[in-house]
Homo-oligomer: A and B are copies of this chain.
Amino acid sequence: MPTELYPSALEELIEELGRLPGIGRKTAARLAFYILNSDQNEALALAEAIIQLKKKIQFCSICFNISEQEICGICRDLERNRKQICVIEDPGSLIMIEKTNEYQGLYHVLGGVISPLDGIGAENLHINELIGRIKNVEEVILALNPSTEGEATSIYLSKILKPFEVKITRLARGIPLGSHLEFVDELTLSKALKSRLEL
């Protein structure tokens, strides 16, 4: 074809959007056309938000949660229980746990789980920093995702932390609320049976 189809500035944006997870080329093109037709200010606000995010957000030097300051709001909050550390994979998990309003302790973001297939070993996670924090701590709550890698990492962590004489717990496994037994997988059901509680 003698004439190129998309002007290069549009092609560029389609390519950049297509790098985002779950955004294929067709969706990227749709989004790019939307941005093209949208108000100048709206488009620039989006670009500015991306720039500001990378400029302002850093990781808390204590717990590795995302933060706009060197130490995050939770680590700075003197009302929180400093005897408990909840170990999570990523900042997204932190937000889910905070939303329950059930937990008043501190957090420690591992930055992932041990996954040899993805080339992630214990040395790539913030495990040494966790060990550095557990003096004076009474309980470490392991709240990694219930995936195979998450389970393996939990077992690894409990072994590593054992010498420090700290109580190590992890989230209960069982039937999710609001579900039906027929939708629950066998493994979850068998765990729920084994961990049954007296009423």
Contact = CB atoms under 8 A, between A and B. Distances in A.
Consensus secondary structure, chain A interface: helix
A165 interface: no
A33 B92 contact: yes
A2 B55 CA distance: 25
Nearest to A32: B53
B2 A68 contact: no
Nearest to A75: B3
A105 interface: no
B50 A54 contact: no
A50 B56 contact: no
Interface in A22-80: 22-23, 27, 29-36, 40, 42-57, 66-68, 73-74, 77, 79
A6 B95 contact: yes
By Cβ-Cβ distance, the 9 closest A-B pairs, closest first, are A3-B73, A47-B50, A13-B49, A9-B56, A47-B47, A16-B46, A16-B49, A7-B68, A12-B49
